[in-house]
Each structure stands twice: as C-alpha cells, then as structure tokens.
Amino acid sequence: MSATIKDVARLAGVSKSTVSRVLSNSGKYSQEAKEKVMQAAKELNYTSNAIARAMVTKQTGNIGFLIHHRHEPVLSHPFYSQLLSAVVETATVYNHGVLVFTDRDIQKCIENFQAQRVDGVILASRMTRDILERFSAANIPVVLVNHSVKVENASYVKNDDYGGAYDAVYYLLKQGHRRIGLICDPDERQRYEAYRQALHHHGVAYDEALVYFTDAKVEQGKQGARYFLGQSRLPSAIFAANDMTAIGVIKELKANGIQVPHDVSVVGFDDIEFASLYEPALTTVKVDKTLIGELAVRQLLRHINSESRNEDLGEEITLPASLVVREST
C-alpha cells in the first residue's frame, strides 16, 4: 500500500540502511545520499511506520492514560477532561501519542496497555497496590496523579490537597464559622484530615455528625445537603470537597429556600471551569490541572528515557493549592 523504506532505497539507488539513517537522522551519511533519499521519499510519499520501528527499538512513542473511578468512567468529568487535555497537548509536543482506555475491568486495561507496548502510563485513577505491581512487573513506568498509594520506582504528581483543604477550613473559621459541615469523597483522606486538623488547631471540637462521605458528583452533593437539612441545626458553612458536589449542595439548599452565602457558606474544591461561571460563583480551592498534566507527562518521559540505569527515579511533585474566594462564602 504505502511506500516502504525498500521502495525509497530502490528509487534513490542506495541501500535500506542508508535510507534508514537519513530518515531517522542517525549515524553517518553523505550530503549526496541525503538528497537522493529525501527526494525519493517525497516522490513516493513515504511515511514512516512506527509499528515496524517499535518492533526493533522497543519504543512505540505512545503513552497510556488510564482512568476510572469505582468502575465508572469519569473521562467527561471536568477535572479529568482538563487533565487529559493537558496530557495530550504535552505529549504531542514531545512527539508522543496518548492511548486512552477506560474500562470497568481494569485488568483488561492493563493487558491492553501491555499488548500495545506503551512506553509508560499515566494513572489518573485510584489504584490498588497490586495493580501498581502489575505495571512494575511488566516493567512499564508509571506516574500517578493525585494519588497516595506508595510504590517504589513510580513518580507522583499531586496537588497539595492537605494544604488546600486546610486553607479552606481555616478561611471559614476566620469568618467566624464554628459549625462547619464536610462533604467528602471517602478516598480523599487528605482533605478529610486537613478538615480535622484545622478544626483541632483552632479549638473547634470534631463532630462526626457534621461529616458526610460520598461520591464527587452533583447528585451526591444534593444528598449531602439533604443530610444536613435533616439535622436539627444546619451548619453555618459547608466544605464540599469537590466543585461538582458543592454545586449540588448549593442547588439543594436553594431549593429549600436557604440562601448561599447568606444563610450558609459553601466552599468547593478543584476550581473546574464552571466554578467561576456558576451563580453564586464558587469559592473553591484551585487545582492546576493543566500543570499537573504537563508535569505528569514530563516526569513520565524522564522515566522512559532513562530506563538504562535501574536507579529509583520515583519522584514526588506536590503543587501548591490556593483558595480562591468568590461569591459562595
């Protein structure tokens, strides 16, 4: 179908070896050879075959992106779509493609990545230790995003969840709030801990009844709001540790005639694009999804390009999170 290196060689009157050298710009070749090859390649409309190259170099030039959340696809979640967008753009800059899989069956995803021989993968979902070990066994470099299961020789790019959450709660405290509700994904330990500590440091007793664990979705936020609505006394502020949840909370409160921020203050987490668009605009913890994505691929590429030495390249980058005060508090 499409021309191969062999066709080019024949037309240029040189060997395949020479063609390969000039096309990949490696090794030595004469200016004359180069011209003939280039000319022939253009004439034949030659495009390189990454598959065949990968066969020998063991590098496909593709990185994998894996995402799932409790067996549900979340690729369209604003947080992840922005992350993926940054990943794809950065990878493209470095001439890498990104291969995406989401599947309820995570084992199948791993197999696919292995079969496709990706050079490395970015894990954007919560993974268990044994899953990480499979990657390690398969000798596939990984970098984990916003993740805390430690495993050797993996890199981490994360947001300062603890700091961000602490700031959020501290801010609420400073505003005079003492009854502060928390709605949090049970996997977000850092945010939960920060909430506890901030309270503790400021002499506010921790009240279990003020904490509601649930998924990071709008509907779950509504549920959380209902949970608080069911209590004899409403918290004066709610830290919904995710913007989608925060929006659900506000909507449900409004539906029950409760004004935000007049009656209850709400702060979210993530600063998705919609946070500033919503009304009231969300006070939230800003997470730099674009930078996270960018650093994740950079870090991964570093692993990939230094496979030779078996040193532990595991590095951990934590990006600062900052509170953005808007209208919901």
Partner DNA sequence: CTGAAAGCGCTTACAG
What are the residues binding DNA (CB under 7 A)? 1, 4-6, 14-18, 20-21, 23-24, 26-30, 32-33, 46, 48-49, 52-53, 55-57
The stretch among 121-129, 146-154, 197-205, 276-284 that binds a second copy (CB under 8 A) is 276-284
Residue 76 binds which one of a second copy, DNA, none, with CB within 5 to 8 A depending on kind? Answer: a second copy
Residue 89 contact, options a second copy, DNA, none, Cβ 5-8 Å cut-off depending on partner type: a second copy
d(CA 23, CA 27): 10
Kindly tell me which of 56 and 205 has the beta carbon lying closer to DNA. Answer: 56
Binds 27: which of DNA, a second copy, none (CB < 5-8 Å by kind): DNA
Closest CB to DNA among residues 20, 102: 20
Q: Which is nearer to a second copy, 98 or 198 (CB)?
A: 98
Looking only at the bridges linking them, the beta strands covering 322-324 and 283-286 are antiparallel
For 38, residues 6+ apart whose C-beta sits below 8 A from its C-beta are 22
Contacts of range 228-235, beta carbons closer than 8 Å, 24 or more positions apart: 228/181, 229/253, 229/256, 229/258, 233/179, 234/179, 234/258, 234/263, 234/264, 235/177, 235/179, 235/180, 235/181, 235/210, 235/264
Using alpha carbons, select from 161, 159, 165 the residue that is nearest to residue 319: 159
Q: What is the DSSP letter of 308?
A: S
Q: Does 286 bind a second copy (CB under 8 A)?
A: no
82 binds a second copy per the rule CB under 8 A: yes
Q: Does 209 contact a second copy by CB under 8 A?
A: no
Q: Is 137 in the site for a second copy (CB under 8 A)?
A: yes
How many residues are there in the chain? 329
The label of the residue with tokens 């990939």 reads: 304
- Shortest reach from residue 116's CB to a second copy, in Å: 5
Q: Does the protein bind a second copy through residue 16 (CB under 8 A)?
A: no
The C-alpha atoms of residue 134 and residue 56 are separated, in whole angstroms, by 24
Least spacing, CB of residue 148 vs DNA, in Å: 34
278 binds, among a second copy, DNA, none (CB under 5 to 8 A by kind): a second copy
Choosing among a second copy, DNA, none, which partner's interface includes residue 277 (Cβ < 5 to 8 Å by kind)? a second copy
The torsion defined by the Cα of 137, 142, 148 and 150, in degrees rounded to 10, comes to: 40
Instruction: For 185-246, give the DSSP string.
Output: -TT-HHHHHHHHHHHHHTTPPP-GGGEEE--SSHHHHHHHHHHHHTSSS--SEEEESSHHHH
Closest CB 66 distance from DNA, rounded Å: 22
> Which CB sits closer to DNA, 3 or 100?
3
State how far the Cα of 236 lies from the Cα of 113, in Å rounded to an integer.
48
Cis peptide before 141 (omega within 30 of 0): no
**Phi and psi, residue 296, nearest 5°:** -60, -45
Per CB under 8 A, does 44 bind a second copy?
no
The C-alpha atoms of residue 234 and residue 220 are separated, in whole angstroms, by 18
49 counts as binding a second copy under rule CB under 8 A? yes
- 309 by DSSP, 3-state: which? coil
Binding of residue 212 to a second copy (CB under 8 A): no
Which 147-206 positions form the footprint of a second copy (CB under 8 A)? none
Closest to DNA by CB, 16 or 302: 16
138/209 with CB nearer a second copy: 138
Binding interface with a second copy (CB under 8 A): 1-2, 45, 47-52, 54-55, 60-62, 73, 75-76, 78, 81-82, 84-85, 88-89, 92, 95, 97-103, 109, 111-112, 114-117, 137-139, 218, 247, 251, 254, 273-274, 277-279
